[in-house]
Amino acid sequence: MFLEPIPPPYDPLEWAKKPFAEKGAMVCSSWAMQGYGTPLAVYALYLLKIALYVSGWFFFCGFTPGIGHLSNVASWWMRPEAFQKAILWSMLFEITGFGCGSGPLTGRYLPPIGGFLYFLRPGTTKLPVFEGAPLIGGYRRNSLDVSLYAALLLLTFLALTSSRPPFELLLAIAVLLPVLGLLDKTLFLAARGEHYWTTVMVFVLASTTSFIPGAKAIHAALWFWAGFSKLNHHFPSVVGVMTSNSPVTRFAWIRRLMYRDFPRDLTPSRTATIMGHAGTVLEMAVPVVLLFGNGGTLTIVGLLLMLGLHGFITSNVPMGVPLEWNVMMVYGGFFLFWKHAGVSLAEMSAPVAVLVVIMCVAIPLLGNLVPSKVPFLLAMRYYAGNWAYSVWLFKGDSHEKLERLTKSSPWIHDQLGHLYDESQCVGIVGKVIAFRLMHLHGRVLEEAIPKACRDGNFEDYEWIDGEIVAGMVLGWNFGDGHLHREELLRAVQQQCGFEAGELRCVMVEAQPFFGSSLHYRIHDAKTGLLEEGHADVKALRARHPWSSPA
């Protein structure tokens, strides 16, 4: 029981044969009451991973005289060296593949991580910024890519094992990570560059002054833009989907509250909508309250709000599982806004201020106004429900051509086949369809999927979410549809050679802040763009997650 997934209330093998609308209604109703159906052992695994993450921080802090011991943690946990090592260790934890985007809740089973298993392996697929450029623009990782990635790991390890991370090592890390990002944009995103690299840059630029003001600005921006990105009609759907999958809300009556009329109408209820708006206000209020606090009552209120925010997120164990990042945000909140409550953002040096304006104002603003141009992590648009995504449709056994790729993760059904029987495997993978359909943006698929399958029946295709494809092919995935759109399709086609009709992809872009529609494209891997269009968000809100207008 501890290791077994919760079975859906239907025969998965029979379900797989049904038409799209019927299949969608069944799997969405199942998700509403069961979520992903995750075994309890999986949650225990994620708790263990958090413990290992925190233990790693203790270990590296131990290289600094006087800190790193649990017995006197209260005397050193807010020292500057401890914070610097928390940032560096978090970046290393993420870029090696152990952080967000790992484990079963991201479609990773055997192996449960990608990361270094790909990034240290020549021949694996990458997404260069300058496609086609000599040496640096190929789709396959070469010795230069592997060497520079290994160098980053070594430099970060040396910084962590120093008594205090020296300027020279911090500078080398700050320079090397963007270079790696040019070679493969996946790496900069996997390292959580918008947070950890930007903070390392503050350490470098503020080497002769205090890094506290700049680090404060980054932390505040992460909260603010995360809340700002939820000022739309998408987030209430996220509340329902997340609550239905939470390990702490396994009560049918709570989950029913999230929907208008379960099982007939699975659009967000008034309760889910109110919760969504309250969450948005909370996320935007935390940085405002903390920035105006001075260590007194207002600061305490802000910290309590922060604990409530991140406690709610972590307890729900959201898909993508950014659990360690939430731990880092809480620790950073106490270090920056409690220990250093009196430090003002006005104390930033000019170079740090320029960095903050670019990374924490200009890029997130552009990412909200023109989301097609900026990955959602760089835009700080966390878990807003308004994401770019893709669905990859493999006809028949055409997915077997993916084995021509150099990769560490096999086909998703083959991963699961080592753990469960065929029926359970189909049931688990099928739940990902519900995750996509139950978000507001998923209702675009009602019109896009039939167009993508116009040369055959929907039942002839194997639906695999772009997230899972990116995980198998690139070695990392975390909700960023920019990793599995046209660039990845070109890289896969170049190496696998799909015939016309064997692989169709539906790619949907996020809604711009002042926009009213979602742009979608339908591609054939060989012949290219088949069709594109725009789906009106107002019309999508009037639909059920799976079929015709309500």
How far from chain centre, in Å, is Cα 279? 19
pLDDT band at 549 (very low <50, low <70, confident <90, very high): very low
| DSSP assignment string, 123-190 | TBB---SSTT-TTTS-SB--HHHHHHHHHHHHHHHHHHTSSS--HHHHHHHHHHHHHHHHH-HHHHHH
**pLDDT by residue (tens digit) across 192-236?**
999 999 999 999 999 877 999 999 999 999 999 999 999 999 999
Nearest alpha-carbon partner for 299 in 346, 272, 334: 334
Q: What tokens were used for 270? A: 């008034």
Rounded average pLDDT over 37-47: 89
Q: What pLDDT is attached to residue 316?
A: 87
Q: What tokens were used for 495? A: 């190496």
pLDDT band at 27 (very low <50, low <70, confident <90, very high): very high
**pLDDT by residue (tens digit) across 433-453?**
999 999 999 999 999 999 999
Instruction: State yes or no: pLDDT of 189 exceeds 90.
Output: yes
**pLDDT by residue (tens digit) across 298-315?**
999 999 999 999 999 998
H or E stretch at 259: strand 259-261
Rounded average pLDDT over 423-429: 93
Q: By mean pLDDT, which of 106-115, 145-154, 316-325 is the weakest?
A: 316-325
Distance between CA atoms of 550 and 544, rounded to whole angstroms?
6
**pLDDT by residue (tens digit) across 246-272?**
988 888 999 999 999 998 899 999 999
Distance between CA atoms of 380 and 86, rounded to whole angstroms?
20
Q: What tokens were used for 547? A: 């079929």
Q: What pLDDT is attached to residue 547?
A: 60
**pLDDT by residue (tens digit) across 266-280?**
999 999 999 999 999
**Mean pLDDT, rounded, of the chain:** 94
Instruction: State yes or no: pLDDT of 68 exceeds 50.
Output: yes
Cis peptide before 39 (omega within 30 of 0): no
Q: What pLDDT is attached to residue 1?
A: 47
DSSP-assigned letter for residue 5: P
How far from chain centre, in Å, is Cα 456? 33
How far from chain centre, in Å, is Cα 46? 16
Distance between CA atoms of 212 and 206, rounded to whole angstroms?
9
Distance between CA atoms of 395 and 426, rounded to whole angstroms?
16
Instruction: State yes or no: pLDDT of 321 exceeds 90.
Output: no
This prediction has a pTM of: 0.95
Instruction: State yes or no: pLDDT of 548 exceeds 80.
Output: no
CB 189 within 8 Å of CB 478:
yes
Instruction: State yes or no: pLDDT of 151 exceeds 90.
Output: yes
